[in-house]
Amino acid sequence: MSSSRKPVHHAVYDTFADWETGHATAYLARAGYEIRTVGPSREPVTSIGGLRIQPAYVLDGVRPSESSLLILPGADLWDACDDLAPFARKAREFLDAGTPVAAICGATAGLAREGLLDDRDHTGAVSFYLAATGYQGGGRYVEADAVTDGNLITAGPTEPVAFAREVFRLLGVYEGEVLDAWYRLFHDSDPEAYAVLEKAR
């Protein structure tokens, strides 16, 4: 990994949706980013899919100045209780410092409750899902697969590929026709896109 490239921090917590961020983390790692898992503690957590992961880092110790991006996956816990509220507060700390945050599925509701979507364009599962949080940002909701507003990326649970596309665009991992080809390959199974990616290697 380039010494000038800061790691990407990936939040992990019980019931996190393990399928939502795999495209993003796999290709960030291939691009040379170190992926650091961050939990509420160092105790192991279990994903919705039954994957048991021991976080490498604890949330309280993560600093925006030492990160390229904070990824927040969805999880049942986002809507079941307030246990994940500290991750939304950490997202505020990142955004206030100018460090990007990418949230998908239930994590968008966590950001809504924290007030982080009131003044930013965003998307999520459906508009009424976020409206149920009582947030004030309904007028900024966008019907799109994924949305980037400044340093914040949001996406719904059915859009892991679009979510990854926005991450790559924001961090400059892929650009232009290469970014478009990556998306078409993984979203549309377009064989012509594969040829573009091979040529770009």
Active-site positions read 105
Instruction: Spell out a b/e string for 133-149, using b for 16 or more CB atoms within 10 Å of the CB, else e.
Output: bebebeebbeebbbbbe
Q: Alpha-carbon distance 112 to 103, whole Å?
A: 11
Q: What is the DSSP letter of 122?
A: B
Q: What is the DSSP letter of 189?
A: -
Q: Are 40 and 20 in contact (CB under 8 A)?
A: no
Q: Assign residue 32 a region (left: φ > 0; alpha: ψ between -120 and 50; beta: otherwise).
A: left
